[in-house]
Chain A
Amino acid sequence: MSESKLRRVDLIFGEYSSAKYKVLEETLKRSNEDILVDLRESNLRGRGGAGFPTGTKWKLAADAPGKEKYVICNADEGEPGTFKDREILTRVPRKVLSGMAICGRVIGAKKGIIYLRGEYKFLLPELNREIEQYNDFMAKLGFEFPIEIKLGSGAYICGEESALFESLEGYRGEPRNKPPYPTTHGYMGKPTVINNVETFVNVVMIMRLGPIQFKLLGTSDSRGSKVFSVSGDTPIPGIYELELGMPLDRFVEEFGDGDTKAVQVGGASGFCVPRKKFTETVIGFEGVPTGGSMMLFNSSRSMYNVLHNYLVFFEEESCGQCTPCRVGCQQLRKGILAVKKGDKNSHYLDQLIKLAESMKITAKCGLGQSVGNSFSSIVQNFREEMIY
């Protein structure tokens, strides 16, 4: 049935415009105000997962006092089940660099940094070649905005923006208290825009097509298209650019193996949606948001094992700075193990859910705050699998 097919989009990975950096060159001829109007009009929301309105972020950084400002591209893609940023950086790096340069002009930054996860170090030679050409082009334009790449060293938490700044500044990747926010106190304590790789590409798309065209895609809360990383029990794993705001049942129809019992939306820190809720679930900011990770599980999988795997992940990747997260992750893992082994009775699961829920309000950063997303959604929907 062709009408049941999800709409495939080809914006992010679409061909470059004919001349190199044409969109960038054209955009730089426009005023900063004009660019910001278009961005806000487009309703673009950050593609890293949190979904902060990009136009607002840029405006705040542009208005922040100070001459020294930075643009940072968050390429520390570490969420389990996410691999889209690598694909974007491999296939359309020029769009990323263009988006950063546009941001630099708008907020008045003189420097851009790409924070690339250490696991993607093999991308460096190709990316550096691209950056060299970019720098030549910018020199010709007479516009100063050099971009450099800094490598991470294997720490999931550094994808959290303030931990990323700490890491760039040469410290342990421990998140800072917020506020103040990066738009006023970011890298080196200076006003900073930090966006996900895909967000910068979206900016370039909006500059090229205009906000009206961009808004034709998606729903009122979730404009545009999104690059999804599809993995798990699917015959067609990979990268797909789809319209935002799609119903999950149609996603499963297209990507499932016919036996899908749950989809983890948004990675280990996201939500687990069981089969009975597929029809009522919308993928987007109005429903279940995602940085792109979509992991499918079929009925042969033990959701206990899935949850246990996530908890080991969080326990290892927690920076250890705040107690709710450091101790909480550990206790949740030990707790489900105790229930599974019969050392604790099933009511103990309710206590664990309370712990996970209190981590949501007490942990210092997004890592500890989102452990409860997958924990509660898996334990509540697959309670029996936790016990037997």
Chain B
Amino acid sequence: MSVNEHLIRDLVKKNGRNRTALIPILQGVEEAKNYISDSDMIEIAKELDLSAAQVYGTATFYSFLSTEPLGKYVIRVCKTITCDMHGKKTIIQTIEEMLKVKVGETTPNKKFSLLETNCLGWCHEGPAMLINEKPYTGLTPERVHDIISDYINKY
């Protein structure tokens, strides 16, 4: 059995085989691998007795579930109005320059993906971003430089 099959079996054991388990299972795969591959979706479909198309249909609906490989650290910068007003653009520029990627791209070493996202709910402390699940708020180019450097060096 491959590593992926093990992962999915474990997730099925934890969440069950009902349709209600589908999104928690997809979330589990996303968390472990940073994306959900075609073969994962086929495997999940088999386990839950669904068609692969149904699994694909559900997975592709949600912006936090990815069917394309993403980096180990997914940076999601909020682009909604107040973050935009308070300097989101310079935050994106800073990250783009540091990581040498554009929005929507992943670094060649597969460590970082840079994405924009809709309102993260930190409008009073914008600009804001998530790195995986961790929020960072009150960003300035300097601060974001320090945060990204930390990730580059430490992890």
Q: Do A and B come from one complex?
A: yes
How many angstroms between the C-alpha atoms of A216 and B151 in the bound complex?
52
Residues of A in contact, count (CB < 8 Å) = 50
**Band of interface residues on B:** 35 or more
Are A231 and B121 closer than 8 Å at their CB atoms?
A: no
Cβ of B82 and Cβ of A295 under 8 Å apart?
Answer: yes
A361 lies within 8 A of chain B by Cβ: no
Q: When the two chains form the complex, which single residue of A153, A170, A293, A310 contacts B20, counting CB atoms closer than 8 Å? A: A170
A134 interface residue per 8 A CB criterion = no
List 9 contacting pairs A-B, 8 Å CB cutoff, sorted by A. A78-B118, A78-B119, A79-B119, A81-B123, A118-B62, A119-B121, A154-B117, A172-B57, A173-B61
List 6 additional A-B contacts (Cβ < 8 Å) besides A153-B62, A169-B19.
A81-B81, A117-B121, A119-B121, A168-B20, A309-B81, A313-B118
CB atoms of B119 and A237 under 8 A apart: no
Interface residues of B in 98-137 (CB under 8 A from A): 117-126, 130, 133-135
Interface mask (A142-175 → B, CB under 8 Å = 1, otherwise 0): 0000000011111110000000000111111110
Complex CA–CA separation, A230 to B81 (angstroms): 13
Question: B44-74: contact bitstring with A at CB < 8 Å (1 yes, 0 no)?
Answer: 0000000000000110011111000000000
Write the chain A residue with the least CB distance to B122: A83
Chain A residues with Cβ under 8 A from B30's Cβ? 153
Is the CB of A344 closer than 8 A to any CB of chain B? Answer: no
- The CA of A119 and the CA of B136, in the complex, are separated in Å by 12
Which residues of B from 63 to 91 have beta carbons under 8 Å from A?
63-65, 79-82, 84-85
Binary per-residue interface labels of chain A (33-71) against chain B in the complex, 1 for a CB within 8 Å, 0 otherwise: 000000000000000000000000000000000000000
* Cβ of B152 under 8 Å from chain A: no
- CB neighbours (8 Å) of A233 from chain B are 85
Q: Indicate which residue in B20, B63, B118, B133 contacts A121 across the interface (CB closer than 8 Å).
A: B133
Q: How far is it, in angstroms, between the C-alpha of A238 and the C-alpha of B26 when the chains are bound?
A: 34
The chain A residues found within 8 Å of chain B, CB to CB, are 77-83, 86, 117-122, 150-156, 167-174, 229-233, 237-239, 268, 293, 295, 301, 305-306, 309-310, 312-313, 316-317, 319
Indicate which residue in A79, A86, A118 contacts B64 across the interface (CB closer than 8 Å). A118
B18 to chain A, nearest CB (A): 8
Measured CA separation A233–B119 after assembly (Å): 17
Evaluate whether A170 and B19 lie within 8 angstroms (CB atoms) in the complex, with A83-B122, A155-B61, A231-B124 already known. yes
| Chain B residues at the A interface, C-beta cutoff of 8 Å | 18-24, 26-27, 30, 57-58, 61-65, 79-82, 84-85, 117-126, 130, 133-135
User: Within the complex, what minimum Cβ distance (angstroms) separates A374 from chain B?
Assistant: 11
| B23 and A237 contacting across the interface, CB-CB below 8 Å | no
Q: Which residues of chain A come closer than 8 Å to B63, judged between CB atoms?
A: 153-155
Question: How distant is B104 from chain A, measured CB to nearest CB, in Å?
Answer: 13
Contact of B24 among A86, A150, A154, A309 (CB under 8 A): A150
A173 to B123, CA, bound (A): 25
A167 to B21, CA, bound (A): 11
Nearest 10 pairs of A and B residues by beta carbon: A154-B64, A153-B62, A237-B124, A170-B22, A231-B123, A154-B63, A172-B61, A170-B19, A153-B64, A121-B133
Assess whether A170 is in contact with B122, with CB atoms less than 8 Å apart. no
For residue A314, give the distance in angstroms from its CB to the closest CB of chain B: 10
CB-based contact B58/A232 at 8 Å: no
Roughly how many angstroms separate A265 CA and B4 CA in the complex, as a whole number?
47
Q: Does A295 lie within 8 Å of B123, measured CB to CB?
A: yes
Interchain CB contact under 8 A, B19 and A154 = no
Measured between beta carbons, the chain B residues less than 8 angstroms from A295 are: 81-82, 123
